[in-house]
Amino acid sequence: MGEDREPAGSGLIVYLDRSEIREGRTEDLKHGVRRLVAFIERREPRLIHYGFHIDEEAGLMTVLAVHPDSASLELHMEVGGPEFRRLADLITLRSIEVYGSPSDRALEMLEQKANALGDGGVTVQEQLAGFTRLTLLRGRA
């Protein structure tokens, strides 16, 4: 069955991270996130989805990103790295989850981000089976 698995770095990568929002910093975070999203949108045309979700009551932020492949994730980490650090005093990163098969380089970059922004680690879940219909997304524009 090993022949059914995609090599590391190929295939869709879904990225999910969770952070605690530092007390009294929600409005600053919202402003910073909007700036970050605009910055990333202009520089990463292959990024399929990039969304921030804030639960004000719980003081939590969740980020969901969908990349077409590991190369897109690597570019995101390179381009966004300095911008992510601008949010460091507003959050404590608790976890990064990756679904797919990131390259070793992408995984190393994610681990560096986790260490720089919080005390959580990185977990990777490789896909056992499935498919992607990106053409459906294009039709919804």
Q: How confident is the model at residue 2 (pLDDT cuts 50, 70, 90)?
A: very low
Q: How confident is the model at residue 133 (pLDDT cuts 50, 70, 90)?
A: confident
Mean pLDDT score, 103-124: 93
CATH (domain of 42): 3.30.70.100
Tabulate helix, strand, coil % of the chain (nearest 5). Answer: 40, 25, 35
Q: Please tell me the predicted confidence (pLDDT) of residue 1.
A: 40
Give the distance, in angstroms, between the CA of residue 128 and the centroid of all CA atoms in the same chain. 21
Instruction: Write down the pTM of the prediction.
Output: 0.86
Domain count, the chain: 1
Residue 117: C-alpha distances to residues 6, 81, 111, 126 (Å): 30, 11, 10, 24
Residue range(s) defining the domain that contains residue 90 = 2-138
Q: How far apart are CA 93 and CA 137, in angstroms?
A: 30
